[in-house]
Amino acid sequence: MTSPTITIDLTPQGTLERLEWLAWFTDSAVRIPGTGRTVGADGLLSLVPGVGSLVGTGMSLYVVAEALRHGAPARLLARMGLNIAADTLLGAIPFIGFLFDMAFKANQRNLNLLREHLMETER
């Protein structure tokens, strides 16, 4: 019996599709009842002091790793890193971090930066 083969689309389009899901999951998966606001796993994890922020940062670094794999320039990677640093530092503050995560959405910002880079590269 052979094991099933899993294929991952490593093209820019495949990468964007994976990262769109990750950005949604980490930044916007849960609608806050009674508001138009959303928060994702990153915001919910920020409610767990210390460990939650580190797990969220780990998920965010995957976006940067994909940008690096697609040849993003150092300036873009630095900008993405600053978004993650802000999210990590402010996200580590209980409750304030949760509120910050509802507004800042670092992974969606970084996904948009990568999308712009990939569109420019295609031209």
Give the pTM. 0.87
Q: Rounded to an integer, what distance in angstroms lies between the CA atom of residue 82 and that of residue 96?
A: 19
pLDDT recorded at residue 9: 80
pLDDT recorded at residue 91: 80
pLDDT recorded at residue 56: 86
Q: What are the helix and strand counts (H, E) for the chain?
A: 6, 2
pLDDT per residue rounded down to tens, the chain (123 residues): 777 888 888 888 999 999 999 999 999 999 989 988 898 998 888 777 777 878 889 999 999 999 999 999 999 999 999 999 999 888 878 788 788 888 899 999 999 999 999 998 877
pLDDT recorded at residue 45: 83
58: tokens are 């780990």
Q: Rounded to an integer, what distance in angstroms lies between the CA atom of residue 58 and that of residue 13?
A: 23
Give the residue extent of every domain in the chain: 17-122
Q: Rounded to an integer, what distance in angstroms lies between the CA atom of residue 38 and that of residue 43?
A: 9
Who contacts 51 (Cβ-Cβ below 8 Å, separation ≥6)?
45
